[in-house]
Amino acid sequence: MTNLVPGVILLKEIGTGESSGTWGSETNTNLELIAEAFSFGTEAITTNADTHATTIADGSTDEGRSIYLKYTGTLDSACTITLGPNTVSKLWFIENGTSGSQNIIISQGSGANVTIPPGDVKAVYSDGAGSGAAIVDAFASLNVVDLKVEDDLTVTDDATIGGTLGVTGIVTLTDDLIIGDGKTIGSASDVDAMTIAANGEITLTQTMIGTQFKEGSNVVATNGRAIAFSLVF
């Protein structure tokens, strides 16, 4: 008996003439392991542990084989989770379901690892390269044609948009909005209604109308455009 596909789900390979009288049960076990590899599993981390090991069992069922694996438990610091064996190449969806607001760090060998913040899910794969094995964020450079988000979209790093960003609702910003020097802000009918120069000077192409104006502020109209304000002192 040898292990079939050791880099994936560790099945039992039955050679010609082997397993007389047990072939059926061993085959059934293999089928169960295949099914388990596409299942949802949970694994608890010891309370406040800094390290944890998940090892896929050789020829028997275990939670670590599941394609969607949720880690639970209470942590008071980041926990490094080592997936084994280090020869396994496999895709996981891993959820940090721990409490304590701590990251989990997914590792396999001395290669790269992936950090998953509390409450987040990441798709990762192991390269199974032995002692130097790495864990890779499968969606780190995800390219999609159309992306539909039915609820909130949170961006925790830079976002680059090569085309047009269309928003049908309200955009709420909690930090600065910065546009390029000399770029414009406008509407669908007047895309260059406002231009902001490198020195901060604002050029308007239309009449500026407002109901309040703070004393001491300076507004400069260019191109002969009118400014209408109700002054508030």
* pLDDT band of 216, cuts 50, 70, 90: low
Strands 79-84 and 104-107: parallel
Is residue 148 one of the residues assigned to a domain?
Answer: no
pLDDT value of position 160:
79
10: left (phi > 0), else alpha (psi -120 to 50), else beta? Answer: left
pLDDT at 6 over 50: no
Residue-wise DSSP of 143-205 = --S----SS-----S----SS----SS----SS-----TTEEE--SS-TTSEEE-TTS-EEES
Residues 48 and 113 in one domain: yes
Residues 10 and 57 in one domain: yes
Residues 113 and 175 in one domain: no
Is residue 143 one of the residues assigned to a domain?
Answer: no
Domain count, the chain: 2
Amino acid identity, residue 195?
Answer: T
* pLDDT band of 110, cuts 50, 70, 90: very high
Residue ending a domain, among 117, 137, 157, is: 137
Residues 202 and 114 in one domain: no
Is residue 156 one of the residues assigned to a domain?
Answer: no
Is residue 188 one of the residues assigned to a domain?
Answer: yes
Residues 23 and 102 in one domain: yes
pLDDT at 209 over 90: no
Residue ending a domain, among 111, 137, 163, is: 137
Is residue 38 one of the residues assigned to a domain?
Answer: yes
Residues 182 and 121 in one domain: no
Is residue 120 one of the residues assigned to a domain?
Answer: yes
Is residue 202 one of the residues assigned to a domain?
Answer: yes
pLDDT value of position 233:
46
For the ranges 11-15, 126-130, 155-159, 199-203, the lowest mean pLDDT is seen at 11-15
Residues 21 and 120 in one domain: yes
Q: What is the pLDDT of residues 45-81, one digit of tens each?
A: 999 999 999 998 887 788 889 999 999 999 999 999 9
Residues 213 and 131 in one domain: no
Mean pLDDT, residues 157-164: 78
Alpha carbons 119 and 78: distance in angstroms, whole number: 13
Residue with tokens 């669908």: 188
The pTM assigned to this predicted structure is 0.67
Domain that residue 228 falls in:
171-233
Residues 16 and 123 in one domain: yes
Is residue 161 one of the residues assigned to a domain?
Answer: no
* Residues paired with 106 in a beta bridge: 81, 114
pLDDT value of position 193:
85
**Average pLDDT across the chain, whole number:** 83
Residues 63 and 128 in one domain: yes
* pLDDT band of 42, cuts 50, 70, 90: very high
> Which is higher by pLDDT, 156 or 126?
126
Residue ending a domain, among 115, 137, 159, is: 137
Residues 133 and 202 in one domain: no
Residues 67 and 117 in one domain: yes
